[in-house]
Structure 1
Amino acid sequence: MAAHRRSDSRLHYFQSRQSRSSSINVPNAPLRPTLGEYVMSFYMGTPPIKRWAIIDSGSSLLWVQCEPCVECYEMNQPLFDPSRSVTFDKVTCSNIFCEVEYTASCKPNTNVCIFKETFGDGAVTEGDAAYEAFILEDTNGPNITLESIIFGCGHEITGAYDEDEAGLVGLSRDPYSFVRQIGALKFSYCLVPFYYLKTWSKILFGKQAQLTGNFTQMLKVKGQEEFYHVSLDGISVGNNRLPIKEGLFHANEKGEGGFIVDSGTTYTLLFKEGLDALISALDDEIFLDPAEDPYGRLHLCYYVNSINDFEVTPDITFHFTGADVVLPKIGTYTEVDRGIYCLAMKPTTDVSILGNLAQQNRIVGYDLDKELVAFAKADCTKF
């Protein structure tokens, strides 16, 4: 399953151009779930063509699949053809982007800047770096055209992607992420549960972003400055704090470990010591009929009629510095087979990650200026 492969690969995936004016009136964009991911819509090129691409707060550059395609995955959107756009222009090797961006390099014997992103499971996206015009649509106001955004025109893509995904929209703190290039120093999203495949919510940029609820500070971790690291200080089941060692989820001085909030990872990944303690505590408190994941991927599984059966189980609270966040039951347990639900968390020996399942029905806001991440409970189907 793509969600499992992408969650595992994110472990290994997780550093100047000045931002545009932060006063730019950037609108919202439609957002909907696919199989394990969330995609936002936008238009690109002149004449414009509509795209749906994964929102990924753990990636930098926006990229889409392009003609000519040497190796691409199948999708239900036509490939972007740069030869048909009058606003498409390749980035040259002398551009500062090609000198400082860690995914970029100069193509040998040419003046063309290329990009290459490699994932831990061997998936690779590579192609030309280019300028293009993008349009974000806003149902509450006029569309906004964003000129000369640097993006990746991918010609060779391998990896686990869904047919509804034309590429990735990088939302990290990197200077060349989409959110930084458009000058939106704030953004927020509300993720509807995955079984609402036909229900849209929104991703909000700039002044429209909603930052409310509980706030925790972003951290800058050595070698991982672009990611949204936060300090997870502990975990509780019900009113009981888990007996895990202090600093288990904190990065060390070498930049190893830590805890990242990431919209591009499906499952929450926890250091094995912490996950084992969580599973043990839940197993003592949950009195549902135990089951096993028939695919052997997840642990702590139960036979239930629906996700609503977990409402009688104790809450899981993540204690971030300054913010206690109760995980939604709808994103804490996931159906792996008919009538079998499992804890939607996996062990890691590397960085820990708050995946998008655990962010469902929450407004998650990012303030890149004040370096804050906010969490607020919400019904995202009404967002």
Structure 2
Amino acid sequence: MLPLTTPTQHESPLLHFPNRNTPKPTGWTLGEWLLLLPVGTAALFFHYGHEWLSDLSSPLRLSAILGWLLLVIILSAFAVLRHAEHLAERLGEPLGTVILTLSVTGIEVMMITAFMYTDNGNASLARDAMFAVVMIVLNGMVGLSLLLGGLRYHEQTYNLQGANAFLAVIVPLAVLGLVLPSYTISSPGPTFSPHQSTFLIVMSLGLYGVFLAIQNLRHRDYFVAPRSQSKRKMALLHQTEQAPKTPVWRHTLLLMAYLLPLVILSEHVATPIDYTLRLWKAPHALGGVLVAGLVLAPESLGAVRAALANQLQRSVNILLGSVLASISLTIPAVLAIGFFTESTIILGIDTVDTILLVLTFVVSMLTFAVRRTNVLLGAVHLLLFLAYLMLIFEK
């Protein structure tokens, strides 16, 4: 009896997708009717939101409103991911991943701003959200991607220079933005003085600008898959070249169309979430975790899917790119808002979180010090993520 044929451990799962040459519809597909949901919800809450959110004492009303808003926001975020991935396919790496991370960071800034200026306000939410992004991505999602990819392929490869370039910018910006404010004496508490805040804004935007130039122009090859892996993927993707493709401008317009309603929805979802956290007497840091989890859900799914398809380079670009964009763009945006509104922005994390942040960076440097990854590295990162979750509730 002949043995059943099975894919080898290094064979891409793309080989087993049926009918990949089937032309895809280019017209207004059924999936785009989903746009009516966020637009309609945003319109309703724009007119009636303050009335509906004025009294949330009823558990049924609170659950219904919160569930409705969260569902629409998550669906919109996944739609943004879908169109960003189409743009990534058309524009190529790493530009496609940059579009995705900038879109997600825009959602994050909108939600943080909305939460900061709900009823009681939350001066430390930006800090909690950015720290949550670092912990969720560098520990939770990197660990899950490496673990699942290692289980399927034993070992996976990526471009070492690209990962090191990400970390070379992430580490100093995170330390300056999240750790240093706790030790400065120019302003009270874990905050920066106006001059220090201005310097951090300029430096963060400047470094990110230099990084984008390196990533997309001067050293673009650092952020694409190793040569042998790229050749194999090009051979596989050549099968789909005859399929009709939607124009880039259409995906760009639809991506923006899904993002715009989130401005209104972010403002209104902050009220029931803030009310729920105060009702349950939950830790303040949990608000940052919820914000980070909401905006990172589609991006994280895309990274895990890429790892399962043996495209670890794309997974690394998405995950490390989201951390870099969050730190280098969210901090300047929040500090600028603080200037205009004359609000205090708390950035410094406490001693326990500082130790966890340093440990995360050390483990990340060890993980991305070799070109091949395995399940052990993924398990270590997941362990650190579980430690982070535990320390939220009990330090």
- In which range does the TM-score fall when normalised by the shorter chain? under 0.3
**Higher relative helix content:** 2
Superposition TM-score, scaled by structure 1 size: 0.22
Superposition TM-score, scaled by structure 2 size: 0.21
**Higher relative strand content:** 1
